[in-house]
């Protein structure tokens, strides 16, 4: 196996692990805890590109589905994917993919900012309707519980993901010239 392939696999696994760690840094404010997971979901797309970023999030979901306690509050298991937070979790794959697709192959500040905005919207687009379907809440209540309290925090996490990407990407490119895709 070429060294470059091994490096890419290590980066995918690293982003998966960072996402799992970020899920444990939680502020419980309702049925959907505020965690740092989104930061690493978006960062995976920005640094690894669409396919590898989505692969990192797919691996994260797989680890959680088989029971490893990688979800918020050290939860795991397939049933957790079917609960109130399941849609947000499933949205991570699409969010990382879209963040990577928008920011690659030529990352720049505008593309990175647009990428994290769209990636965050993907998480909400999957998570909020899922939360409504699972809980039976009205749309107004679902938005009040599953989106509005998180907007400021998610904006801060998106900004942090962009700043981290700008700091980390030069080192990745210097040591690993093929980081996109």
What are the sequence ranges of the domains in the chain?
A: 3-175
Tell me, what's the pLDDT at 179?
45
CATH number of 3-175: 1.10.1760.20
Task: Count CB-CB contacts under 10 A for residue 30.
Answer: 13
Tell me, what's the pLDDT at 1?
73
Tell me, what's the pLDDT at 94?
98
Which residues, given as ranges, of the chain have pLDDT below 50?
177-181
pLDDT for 17-59, tens place per residue?
A: 999 999 999 877 766 668 999 999 999 999 999 999 999 999 9
CB 88 within 8 A of CB 30: no
Threshold 0.75, pTM exceeds: yes
Spatial CA neighbour of 54 closest among 94, 14, 109: 94
Tell me, what's the pLDDT at 4?
84
For the chain, where are the alpha helices, taking DSSP H only? 3-24, 37-65, 78-81, 86-103, 109-135, 139-146, 151-175
Spatial CA neighbour of 127 closest among 163, 171, 83, 160: 83
Q: Count Cβ atoms within 10 A of the Cβ of residue 1 and give its class: 0-12 exposed, 13-18 middle, 19 or more buried.
A: exposed
Torsion angle in degrees (nearest 10) through CA of 100, 106, 108, 112: -10
Q: How many residues are present in the chain?
A: 181
Tell me, what's the pLDDT at 41?
98
Tell me, what's the pLDDT at 28?
73
Contacts 24+ apart (CB under 8 A), 169-177: 169/46, 169/47, 169/107, 172/11, 172/47, 176/4, 176/7, 176/8, 176/11
Spatial CA neighbour of 161 closest among 3, 2, 46, 18: 46
For residue 76, give the DSSP letter: -
Separation between Cα atoms, residue 94 and residue 41, nearest integer Å? 10
Tell me, what's the pLDDT at 175?
60
The CB-side HSE value for 158 (13 A sphere, CA atoms) comes to: 23
């Amino acid at each position: 196996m070429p060294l470059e392939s091994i490096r890419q696999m290590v980066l995918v696994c690293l982003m998966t692990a960072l996402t799992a760690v970020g899920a444990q840094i939680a502020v419980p404010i309702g049925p959907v805890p505020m965690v740092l997971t989104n930061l690493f979901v978006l960062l995976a797309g920005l640094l690894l590109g669409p396919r590898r970023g989505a692969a990192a999030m797919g691996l994260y979901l797989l680890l959680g589905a088989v029971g490893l306690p990688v979800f918020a509050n050290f939860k795991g298991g397939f049933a957790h994917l079917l609960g109130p937070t399941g849609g947000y979790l499933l949205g991570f794959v699409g969010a990382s993919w879209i963040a990577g697709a928008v920011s690659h192959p030529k990352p720049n500040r505008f593309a990175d900012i647009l990428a994290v905005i769209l990636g965050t919207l993907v998480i909400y687009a999957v998570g909020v309707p899922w939360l409504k379907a699972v809980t039976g809440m009205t749309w107004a209540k679902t938005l009040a519980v599953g989106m509005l309290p998180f907007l400021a925090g998610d904006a801060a996490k998106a900004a942090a993901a962009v700043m981290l990407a700008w700091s980390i990407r030069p080192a990745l490119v210097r040591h690993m010239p093929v980081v996109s895709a």
